[in-house]
Amino acid sequence: MTQRSTKHATFTIERIFPVSPARVFAAYADAKAKARWFGGPDEWEKSNLTLDFRVGGRESVSGGPSGGPVHHYNALYQDIVPNERIVLTYEMHLDKTRISVSLGTTEFKPAGEGTKLVYTEQSVFLDGHDDAGGREQGTRGLLDNLEAALRRVA
Amino acid sequence: MTGRSAQHGTIRLERRYKASPKRVFAAWAEPEARAKWDVPGRWAIAEQSFDFRESGRELKRFGPQTDPRFVAETLYLDIVPQRRIVFSYSTTSNGTPISVSLTTIEMAADGRETRLLLTEQIVFLDGHDNAGNREEGLSSMLDKIGAML
Amino acid sequence: MQPVAPLDLTFQALADPTRRTMVERLSRGPASVSELAEPLAMTLSAVVQHLAVLEASGLVRSQKAGRVRTCRIEPKALQAAERWISERRASWEHRLDRLGAFLAETEPKPRRRRKT
């Protein structure tokens, strides 16, 4: 009998960006802008990011090392408050195996002339695929990418 | 300045039922069964759809008879028959989002019984009208007090 | 600021089914004393007595404007039960209770072994 297990985890990351909430939000709301920062490492082979940015809309992107397993990201937008908040649920698959399901909340708060971004992720890791903080680390990396992308355009 | 807030929390509940995992799972999976037990205590269901499968979506509209203003939309994400159900659901009141949740239900055989573990990870939005839960919660609390006396 | 009554006073106040019905009604919104009394099969003075117990416990407060006394739930007193996460938890407890009742009601009857 297959061993079934789950591990639930929550983390929160706060970051300050030197641009307005509207500018940061725009990097989430448009497929082209999002693809500039959201995705796996540069050396990975990647699919195009598809984004239907509305409540009930979907988002997906896949990628992986050449010859290795493919990571599939698939999200559903649950709540969008322009320039203020995004709530979505997403699944990660490794090839055909579902490894996690998550609830992600991104809040965009004015901080002086910039933005305080607060991201909270509540996840369930399935069947031993928990990653000892790898998800949190990976998310910090994505926010580094976002900061670099925002500075490039500024 | 809008009163925007997002509060996060996780609840965990455990139950033991004198039934096999097969029966417990069927109570969720079969529409006729679920329609019998998954009904709000005091409120009416105005509308309900069933689609129990991965990627299946269900909608439930409920509330006071004269004002069924609450909607819960469920999306099934992971289903392992007789073992596990993972779903997300969002609740709205008159179209205004109240919460989004990720719910994990795990079943494990324990002799002739089933141990059920429910974990729900929730984001509660903007401190809105939570009468949907408050009513149930208050009813439940009042019933328990009544039963205690 | 009114101090929150100790929990046992609250439970004492809720020991009576009529008072629980009144609290449930008020949880849906404020009501005048006559509105509260309407569905109850008792004299107005009996209702007023119940109301006094609820007010003493801090669960309910009332205010008179002209001839009408309006009652409302005191949010602070219900804070523990009102906080969103305890409500969600209580809601699930209720649902899982119902699942248990359903499973008990639909328990397959043991088959009699036929004697050959």
Those residues whose C-beta lies under 8 Å from the C-beta of residue A100, and which sit 6 or more positions away, are A91, A92, A123, A124, A125, A126, A129, A135
Tracing tokens 């119940």 back to the chain, one arrives at C50
Q: At B113, give phi and psi (nearest 5°).
A: -110, 175
What confidence tens digit (pLDDT) does each residue in B6-15 have?
A: 989 899 999 9
B147 close to C (CB below 8 A): no
| Residue B142: band (very low, low, confident or very high) from pLDDT cuts 50, 70, 90 | low
pLDDT of residue C65: 87
Contact B11, B120 (CB under 8 A): yes
Contact C59, C73 (CB under 8 A): yes
Contact A150, A24 (CB under 8 A): yes
> Which uninterrupted H or E stretch holds B1?
none
Counting residues of chain B whose pLDDT is more than 70, the rounded percentage is 84
pLDDT of residue B120: 97
Contact flag for A and C (3+ C-beta pairs < 8 Å): no
Interface contact flag, B88 A4, Cβ < 8 Å: no
| Residue C2: band (very low, low, confident or very high) from pLDDT cuts 50, 70, 90 | very low
Q: At B28, give phi and psi (nearest 5°).
A: -85, -40
The three state secondary structure string of chain A is CCCCCEEEEEEEEEEEECCCHHHHHHHHHCHHHHHCCCCCCCCCEECCCEECCCCCCEEEEEEECCCCCCEEEEEEEEEEECCCEEEEEEEEEECCEEEEEEEEEEEEEEECCEEEEEEEEEEEEECCCCCCCHHHHHHHHHHHHHHHHHHHHC
Measured between beta carbons, which residues in chain B are less than 8 angstroms from residue A7? none
What confidence tens digit (pLDDT) does each residue in A56-115 have?
A: 999 999 999 999 999 999 999 999 999 999 999 999 999 999 999 999 999 999 999 999
Q: Is residue C116 part of a domain?
A: no
β-strand partners of C61: C72
Measured between beta carbons, which residues in chain B are less than 8 angstroms from residue C101? 37
Report how far residue A13's alpha carbon sits from residue A144's, in angstroms, rounded to the nearest whole number.
12
Long-range contacts (CB closer than 8 Å, 24 or more residues apart) made by A67-73: A69/A94, A69/A95, A70/A94, A70/A95, A71/A40
Domains of chain B, earliest start first: 6-148 (3.30.530.20)
Report the b/e string of B92-101 with b at 16+ CB within 10 A.
bbeeebbbbb
pLDDT of residue A8: 96
pTM for the full predicted model: 0.78
Contact C20, C36 (CB under 8 A): no
Residue (of C23, C18, C12) closest to C74 by Cα position: C23
Question: Domain of C46?
Answer: 7-105
* Range from A47-51, A146-150, B57-61, C16-20 carrying the lowest mean pLDDT: C16-20
Residue (of A41, A33, A13) closest to A107 by Cα position: A13
| Residue A148: band (very low, low, confident or very high) from pLDDT cuts 50, 70, 90 | very high
What are the structure tokens assigned to A153, written together? 């355009």
pLDDT of residue B47: 93
pLDDT of residue B144: 58
Report how far residue A43's alpha carbon sits from residue B89's, in angstroms, rounded to the nearest whole number.
36
Domains of chain A, earliest start first: 6-38+81-153 (3.30.530.20)
Query: Which of the pair, A26 or C84, is modelled with greater confidence?
Result: A26
Q: Is residue C45 part of a domain?
A: yes
Per-residue pLDDT at B26 exceeds 80: yes
Is 0.90 exceeded by the ipTM? yes
pLDDT of residue B129: 60
| Residue B141: band (very low, low, confident or very high) from pLDDT cuts 50, 70, 90 | low
Report how far residue C9's alpha carbon sits from residue C5's, in angstroms, rounded to the nearest whole number.
6
Per-residue pLDDT at B77 exceeds 60: yes
Contact C96, B116 (CB under 8 A): yes
Measured between beta carbons, which residues in chain A are less than 8 angstroms from residue B75? 76, 89
Q: Is residue C112 part of a domain?
A: no
Gap from B11 CA to chain A (nearest CA, Å)? 11
Per-residue pLDDT at C78 exceeds 80: no
Per-residue pLDDT at B87 exceeds 90: yes
Query: Domain holding C71: CATH number?
Result: 1.10.10.10
The arithmetic mean of pLDDT across residues B102-112, rounded, is 96
DSSP string, C23-87: HHHHHTS-EEHHHHHTTSSS-HHHHHHHHHHHHHTTSEEEEEETTEEEEEE-GGGGHHHHSHHHH
Task: Quote the mean pLDDT of chain B.
Answer: 88
Task: Quote the mean pLDDT of chain A.
Answer: 94
Residue of C nearest to B124 (CA): C84
Q: Is residue C115 part of a domain?
A: no
pLDDT of residue C10: 63
Report how far residue B61's alpha carbon sits from residue B68's, in angstroms, rounded to the nearest whole number.
6
pLDDT of residue B132: 67
Q: Is residue C1 part of a domain?
A: no
Per-residue pLDDT at C79 exceeds 80: no
Per-residue pLDDT at A150 exceeds 90: yes
Gap from C80 CA to chain B (nearest CA, Å)? 11
Those residues whose C-beta lies under 8 Å from the C-beta of residue A24, and which sit 6 or more positions away, are A17, A108, A115, A117, A146, A150
Q: Is residue C44 part of a domain?
A: yes
> Is the alpha carbon torsion for B137, B138, B142, B143 positive or negative?
negative
Report how far residue B73's alpha carbon sits from residue B57's, in angstroms, rounded to the nearest whole number.
7
Q: Is residue C110 part of a domain?
A: no
Residues of chain B that touch chain A, judged by Cβ-Cβ distance less than 8 Å:
2, 4, 6, 8, 10, 75, 77-78, 80, 83-84, 86, 88, 90, 97, 100-102, 104, 106, 119, 121-123, 125
Query: Which of the pair, C81 or A59, is modelled with greater confidence?
Result: A59
pLDDT of residue C87: 81
Number of folded domains in chain C?
A: 1
Q: Is residue C111 part of a domain?
A: no
Tracing tokens 């999306």 back to the chain, one arrives at B75
> Which uninterrupted H or E stretch holds B143?
helix B131-148
User: How far are the Cα atoms of C10, C17, C23, C45, C77 from residue C57, in angstroms, in the given order?
Assistant: 5, 15, 12, 19, 9
What confidence tens digit (pLDDT) does each residue in C9-48 have?
A: 566 677 677 887 888 888 778 899 999 998 888 888 999 9
For C28, other C-beta atoms within 10 Å of its C-beta total 13
